Amino acid sequence: MASQTDTVSAGSGTASASASPTPAARVVTRFAPSPTGFLHIGGARTALFNWLFARHHGGTYLLRIEDTDRARSTDAAIEAIFDGLNWLGLGGDAEPVFQFARSDRHAQVAHQLLDAGHAYRCYLTQEELAARRAKAQEERRPFRLESEWRDADPATWPADKPYVIRVKAPREGETVIEDVVQGAITVQNVEIDDYVILRGDGTPTYMLAVVVDDHDMGVTHVIRGDDHINNAFRQLVIIRAMNAIEGGWPDPIYGHIPLIHGADGAKLSKRHGALGVDAYRDEMGLLPEAVFNYLLRLGWGHGDEEIISRDQAVEWFDIANVNKGASRFDLKKLLNLNGHYLREADDARLVDLVAPRLDALVPAHDRAKLAEAMPVLKVRAADLNELAKGAVFLFAQRPLALDEKAQGLLTADARAILAKVITRLEGANDWTAATLEANLKQMAEELGVGLGKIAQPLRASLTGQATSPGIFDVLVLLGKEESLARLRDHAA
Ligand code: GLU
């Protein structure tokens, strides 16, 4: 766990709004999840863009766990977040910072702001605030806090009454953010409220903590979901006040990335596949490189390239090319990519990933056989579950249980053909795919039937299913003895 003094020195010192810093300027990005739930797909993409941006510019990518909401933050969520990030290869470049452990430092900054007149003690009670809010609602006007304490002389601050510390937001002019994704965004300063930075019990608010941590971690580029755009304007109030007080608090460069929507355009929810990253790995059986590639393409592109390696992504990534509009989550595309990466994956690695899934399907399986079959199995699967299912026939006990489709294939005619195949293959000496293929093709010709008339009943009786790897590969993988025994179980 990071200690309170665990900080990184301040950033480049420039407040330039350029997406591409000068080579001399050091880039520091961060991913700052709140550990109130699993690492969802949107969070993973935010992490990915921060990681890529830092890598592309030879900078540093940091993690910060925003655990200030003590009631909702859990250790299990923290574990799940690290676990998901590590699986995707998006662990931070330094020890993660834990926000709650830095509360004293946050409070210190609140007091600096107070002492310099950029914040004030506000003694309005909850009841007074509620009454003002109710009145605004009654009069059908938006509620805007106008605290009479904003300009009160500190000499009049009561010593014995509870208060909060509010930041003094500017009232005149406007604030412009040159967002590297969204473009220029302008807000009138009267829209920005005097929000609380230190609560009555002396604890810092989230808004203060984020700003102080970003500064102390030397964060130069804040890349996060566009649901934080309003926060950026509010956070800049503290940043600019601190810069006025002590210097060295440049505006960060902001990049607010759009949310991910479901394929139907609605906000992403569980039913669209908005699962924790662990579900993509464990339940759906996806490979991390497929999820990485998919997330990368979700809202960012390089021409028509679909398959993009990690190294290529680092070279090509440009935050300015992130789409402004929401991107749509497409499970089919993700599965297609996964199929591609399965075909590319190393066989031994796939054996490690598939073997535990096979335990639940066929207890008696062996890794050597699985490894031998992997080249033909992996080309047919979209995910590791399918891959495991496709391997079941290798280890199934005779007589095989046939699924419905396989049963449908084993008509009386088909069983008669099986009997002929058995006679023919009993005499086969060379049990290789090429020889078996030539042999059975010749048989089909002699019988005056298409090869499918032979292959389909063979497949049904050898695998118990209507789909499988190429039938000659199946024969070779099962070996002569086992193949013939399975065929005999179903021949007429
Ligand atoms: N902790 C915030 C969240 O999980 C992110 C805050 C930020 O990136 O500034 O949404």
| pLDDT in 10s for each residue of the chain, 492 residues | 333 333 333 333 333 344 555 544 699 999 999 999 889 899 999 999 999 999 999 999 999 999 999 999 999 999 999 999 999 999 999 999 999 999 999 999 999 999 999 999 999 999 999 999 999 999 999 898 999 999 999 999 999 999 999 999 999 999 999 999 999 999 999 999 999 999 999 999 999 999 999 999 999 999 999 999 999 999 999 999 999 999 999 999 999 999 888 888 887 776 665 678 999 999 999 999 999 999 999 989 999 999 999 999 999 999 999 999 888 999 899 999 999 999 999 999 999 999 999 999 998 889 999 999 999 999 999 999 999 999 999 999 999 999 999 999 999 999 999 999 999 999 999 999 999 999 999 999 999 999 999 999 999 999 999 999 999 999 999 999 999 999 999 998
Cβ within 8 Å of residue 346, ≥6 positions away: none
Residue 463 lies in a domain: yes
User: Residue 371 sits in which domain range?
Assistant: 345-393
The Cα–Cα gap between 397 and 420 comes to: 24
Q: Judge if 406 and 492 occupy the same domain.
A: yes
Probe ligand 1: pick from 228, 254, 257, max atoms within 8 Å of CB?
Answer: 228
Where residue 52 falls (left for φ over 0; alpha for ψ -120 to 50; beta otherwise) is alpha
Question: Measuring from each residue's beta carbon to the nearest atom of ligand 1, which residues come in under 6 Å?
Answer: 32-34, 66, 210, 224, 228
Q: Judge if 432 and 446 occupy the same domain.
A: yes
Query: How many Å lie between the centroid of ligand 1 and the Cα of residue 264?
Result: 26
The Cα–Cα gap between 53 and 20 comes to: 10
Catalytic machinery residues? 270
CATH at 475 = 1.10.10.350
Q: Is the peptide bond before 375 cis (omega within 30 degrees of 0)?
A: no
Q: Judge if 27 and 93 occupy the same domain.
A: yes
Q: Judge if 355 and 445 occupy the same domain.
A: no
Indicate the annotated binding residues for ATP. 270
Ligand 1: which atom is nearest the Cα of residue 43? 4
Q: Judge if 79 and 185 occupy the same domain.
A: yes
Probe ligand 1: pick from 67, 210, 211, max atoms within 8 Å of CB?
Answer: 210
Query: How many Å lie between the centroid of ligand 1 and the Cα of residue 145?
Result: 25
Nearest partner of 48 among 295, 280, 385, judged by Cα: 295
Residue 32 lies in a domain: yes
Indicate the annotated binding residues. 270
The Cα–Cα gap between 264 and 326 comes to: 12
The Cα–Cα gap between 28 and 55 comes to: 10
Q: Judge if 376 and 474 occupy the same domain.
A: no
Residue 137 lies in a domain: no
The answer to whether the beta carbons of residues 406 and 393 sit under 8 Å apart is no
Q: Judge if 404 and 480 occupy the same domain.
A: yes
Residue 120 lies in a domain: no
Residue 116 lies in a domain: no
Query: How many Å lie between the centroid of ligand 1 and the Cα of residue 316?
Result: 26
Q: Judge if 416 and 360 occupy the same domain.
A: no
Q: For residue 472, how many other CB atoms are within 10 A of its CB?
A: 20
pLDDT tens profile 416-452: 999 999 999 999 999 999 999 999 999 999 999 999 9
Q: Which helix (H) or strand (E) holds 183?
A: strand 183-188
Query: Going by CA atoms, what residue is nearest to atom 6 of ligand 1?
Result: 32
